């Protein structure tokens, strides 16, 4: 503990939490702003109009629920019926684009392409058309965690058969929506799919077989993504003229000290966390990163396995995956410190992803804390992450496809505003230093079902009244701040929305009146 506290003090001395002290900053011409959501988290309509059952429908309806508040996504924000309201508030914000996902089982109820549900096609056609009519670019995510349960019965993402099934699903979306959708994400956050869904019980399907299942999943996710990219590139790009990529969750891991061991611990953490998925796609050499292959092979040998628990990518598979993204889709929220400590042997199960990584990951208690236990505000970590991606992958076009802050609720969300401004400030610093960042997407447009945490964490710029049958959407103060950033293309830390300036004047006048009375 003494060492941990000393590391915190050292980091505070090294890293100023706000990188730039300039008061007003401009975004470059052509920089785009958006907002994002995901189908299961907002749509509801879980069994309407022919929709099939997903792994999240199964998880949320278990007799002993894994959901913190016992809730589910049966109705959520009811965007299946209120999509026009969502587009209305997107227009109100003035966003350039809206990143949303398609529910696989709303299109293919059993997961397979033999039967297409026309009601699902109609819903997304209506949403896409409504966006375009309001000058909002649709940015479509093909898969955001809601795997058809029928496919999970076959092993889901641990079964190589999923590669062809996913490709069939993607082609249906290209065929029906590609004439209007010009920005695509194949898969959202492979680590959360593989480690949290198959290597642990943090996400559906709650397989919880760490050290084996997440690595099987990782190979298949990469190959499925690559196959869909190749299909789009070879069969659709010329006639549809779009861009396609992947969104990878990226946490910055900072060495807790200047020791070689702690620097290696931070490097290993980064390569296990996001290098596992970014390196095969974006690096010149391709394949899984050296640190991942070395650690898993060494641990596997120690544990008596005759081969590495990390499946090998053949030379042809390495070539097939390498280069399969038109941009680096980055979902990023926070930072952790990493260190090596021999005294923590036995902390993690054997075998396991965390034991293979071998890094102890902690937060600095001085960092601002969100409602989500895993989320702290560390803008300098965001800046370092952007610089590292620039260095490692030859400065690819970067789209920030998720970044946001959770609260417990309420409309006066000063903590979210501080997070938003400080992270955009760090982004501008990275832009000034040559990083090729094209767009920023806030998570999320509206409050939603936050997976195992249900409705206990609020990420929305707009509050959703879940107790109301109308699911009323009300702008938080952060919505007014984001709207002004988009309108002006300026980051002004002193800007106060007129609504709140007037309220403050009224409050001050009332205080003066009360004091005069007494």
Q: What distance in Å separates the CA atoms of residue 40 and residue 145, rounded to the nearest whole number?
A: 8
350-388 exposure pattern, b = at least 16 Cβ within 10 A, e = fewer: ebbbbbbbbbbbebbeebeebbbeebbbbbbbbbbbbbb
100 strand-pairing partners? 140
- Confirm whether 433 is a catalytic residue: no
User: Encoding tokens for residue 346?
Assistant: 């036995």
User: Encoding tokens for residue 107?
Assistant: 């299109």
CA distances from 29 to 25, 97, 130 (A): 13, 16, 26
Q: What distance in Å separates the CA atoms of residue 90 and residue 96, rounded to the nearest whole number?
A: 9
Of the candidates 196, 377, 402, 463, the residue annotated as catalytic is: 402
Q: Which helix (H) or strand (E) holds 97?
A: strand 97-101
138 strand-pairing partners? 98
156: which DSSP letter? G
- Confirm whether 465 is a catalytic residue: no
Residues 6 or more apart in contact with residue 110 via CB below 8 angstroms: 52, 148, 150
Of the candidates 43, 130, 189, 450, the residue annotated as catalytic is: 189
Q: What distance in Å separates the CA atoms of residue 360 and residue 351, rounded to the nearest whole number?
A: 16
Q: Which helix (H) or strand (E) holds 99?
A: strand 97-101
Q: Which residues are catalytic?
A: 189, 402
């Amino acid at each position: 503990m003494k060492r941990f506290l000393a590391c915190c003090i050292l980091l505070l001395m090294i890293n100023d939490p706000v990188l730039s002290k300039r008061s007003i900053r401009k975004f470059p011409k052509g920089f785009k702003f958006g907002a994002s959501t995901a189908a299961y988290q907002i749509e509801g309509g879980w069994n309407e109009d022919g929709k099939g059952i997903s792994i999240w429908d199964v998880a949320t309806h278990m007799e002993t629920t894994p959901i913190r508040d016992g809730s589910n996504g049966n109705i959520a924000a009811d965007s299946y019926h209120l999509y026009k309201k969502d587009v209305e508030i997107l227009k109100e914000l003035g966003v350039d684009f809206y990143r949303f996902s398609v529910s696989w089982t709303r299109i293919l109820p059993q997961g397979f392409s033999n039967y297409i549900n026309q009601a699902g096609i109609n819903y997304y056609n209506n949403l896409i058309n409504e966006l375009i009519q309001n000058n909002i670019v649709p940015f479509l995510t093909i898969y955001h965690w809601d795997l058809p349960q029928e496919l999970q019965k076959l092993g889901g993402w641990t079964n190589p058969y999923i590669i062809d099934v996913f490709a069939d699903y993607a082609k249906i979306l290209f065929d029906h929506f590609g004439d209007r959708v010009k920005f695509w994400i194949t898969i959202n956050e492979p680590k959360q799919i593989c480690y949290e869904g198959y290597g642990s019980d943090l996400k559906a399907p709650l397989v919880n077989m760490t050290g084996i299942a997440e690595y099987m999943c990782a190979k298949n996710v990469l190959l499925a993504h690559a196959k869909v990219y190749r299909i789009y590139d070879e069969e659709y790009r010329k006639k549809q003229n779009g861009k396609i990529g992947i969104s990878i969750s990226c946490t910055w891991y900072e060495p807790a000290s200047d020791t070689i061991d702690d620097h290696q611990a931070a490097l290993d953490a980064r390569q296990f966390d996001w290098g596992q998925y970014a390196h095969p796609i974006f690096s010149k050499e391709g394949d899984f990163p050296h640190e991942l292959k070395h650690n898993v092979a060494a641990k596997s040998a120690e544990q008596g396995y005759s081969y590495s628990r990390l499946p090998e990518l053949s030379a042809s598979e390495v070539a097939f995956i390498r280069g399969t993204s038109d941009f680096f889709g980055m979902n990023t929220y926070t930072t952790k410190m990493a260190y090596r400590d021999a005294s923590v042997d036995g902390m993690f199960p054997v075998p396991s992803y965390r034991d293979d990584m071998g890094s102890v990951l902690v937060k600095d208690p001085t960092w601002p804390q969100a409602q989500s236990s895993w989320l702290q505000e560390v803008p300098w970590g965001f800046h370092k992450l952007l610089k590292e991606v620039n260095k490692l992958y030859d400065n690819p076009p970067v789209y920030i496809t998720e970044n946001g802050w959770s609260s417990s609720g309420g409309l006066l969300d000063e903590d979210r505003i501080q997070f938003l401004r400080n992270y955009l400030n760090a982004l501008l610093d990275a832009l000034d230093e040559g990083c090729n960042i094209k767009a920023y997407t806030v998570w999320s447009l509206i409050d939603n079902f936050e997976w195992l945490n249900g409705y206990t964490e609020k990420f929305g710029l707009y509050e959703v009244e879940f107790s109301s049958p109308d699911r009323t959407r009300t702008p938080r103060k952060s919505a007014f701040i984001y709207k002004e950033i988009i309108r002006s293309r300026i980051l002004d830390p002193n800007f106060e929305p007129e609504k709140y300036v007037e309220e403050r004047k009224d409050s001050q006048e009332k205080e003066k009146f009360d004091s005069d009375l007494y």
